[in-house]
C-alpha cells in the first residue's frame, strides 16, 4: 500500500509557505493529498472551489500531489483515504498552542492518527494567508509570497486602495 500523507488546511489562498511544506512532505511519502477544508465557521475570501483550483494550478507540476476538498471531520477523511498520517506546518511559536489542541482532540477521535510537523524555510516563517491578503489590500508587492497566478486572483478579489 502507498504511503499517503494528508495535508489539511484552509489555504485561503495558498502561499509559498504551504508549497514549502508540500515539498518537504513529498520527501517522506509516496502520495500527498492536500485536503482543503470547508469549515463553515471560518469565513474565507476564496470559496472552497476557488481554493482547490488555485492549489491545483500551483501544484500541477508536482508528481504525487493531489488536491481535494473535504468537509466534516478530518479523521473521517483519513478513514476514506485509508491514511493515518497528517502533516502540518509549524511557524513561529504562534502555531504551537493551536496545533497542540488539534492533535489531542483528533487523538481522542482516532487513536491511530499521527501528526507530523514540519518547519518551513526561514523566509516563510512569518508568512500567512491573512498577511498576504492584508498586503494586497494595502497595495503592497507580494511577489515573493505566492505564485503569480494566485497573486493575480488576489488582486481581482481585492481592489486595493490607491492613493
User: Which residues of the chain form contacts with ligand ADP (CB under 6 A)?
Assistant: 9-11, 15, 17-18, 20-21, 88-89, 91, 95, 120, 124, 127-129
**18 catalytically annotated:** yes
Q: Of the residues 37, 51, 129, 133, which is catalytic? A: 129
Q: How far apart are CA 62 and CA 60, in angstroms?
A: 6
Binding residues for substrate: 10, 42, 74, 88
Neighbours of 100 (CB within 10 A): 10
**3 catalytically annotated:** no
User: Least separation, in Å, of the C-beta of 110 and ligand ADP?
Assistant: 18
Q: Which residue's CB is nearer to ligand ADP, number 11 or number 77?
A: 11
Q: How far apart are CA 87 and CA 34, in angstroms?
A: 10
**42 catalytically annotated:** yes
Binding residues for ATP: 10-11, 18, 89-91, 99, 124-130
> Checking DSSP bridges between strand 65-70 and strand 31-37, what pairing results, if any?
parallel
Q: Which residues contact 9 (CB under 8 A, 6 or more apart)?
A: 18, 34, 35, 36, 37, 88
Q: Of the residues 2, 27, 42, 43, which is catalytic? A: 42
Residue positions annotated with a catalytic role: 18, 42, 91, 129
Amino acid at each position: 500500500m502507498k504511503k499517503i500523507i494528508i495535508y489539511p488546511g484552509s489555504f485561503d489562498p495558498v502561499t509559498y509557505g504551504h508549497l514549502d511544506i508540500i515539498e518537504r512532505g513529498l520527501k517522506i511519502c509516496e502520495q500527498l493529498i492536500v485536503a482543503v477544508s470547508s469549515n463553515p465557521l471560518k469565513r474565507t475570501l476564496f470559496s472552497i472551489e476557488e481554493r482547490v483550483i488555485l492549489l491545483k494550478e500551483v501544484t500541477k507540476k508536482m508528481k504525487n500531489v493531489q488536491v481535494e476538498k473535504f468537509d466534516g471531520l478530518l479523521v473521517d477523511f483519513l478513514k476514506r483515504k485509508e491514511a493515518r498520517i497528517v502533516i502540518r506546518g509549524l511557524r513561529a511559536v504562534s502555531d504551537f498552542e493551536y496545533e497542540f489542541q488539534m492533535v489531542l482532540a483528533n487523538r481522542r477521535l482516532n487513536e491511530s492518527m499521527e501528526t507530523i510537523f514540519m518547519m518551513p524555510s526561514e523566509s516563510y516563517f512569518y508568512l500567512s494567508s491573512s498577511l498576504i491578503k492584508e498586503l494586497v489590500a494595502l497595495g503592497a508587492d507580494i511577489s515573493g509570497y505566492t505564485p503569480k497566478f494566485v497573486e493575480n486572483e488576489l488582486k481581482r478579489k481585492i481592489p486595493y486602495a490607491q492613493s
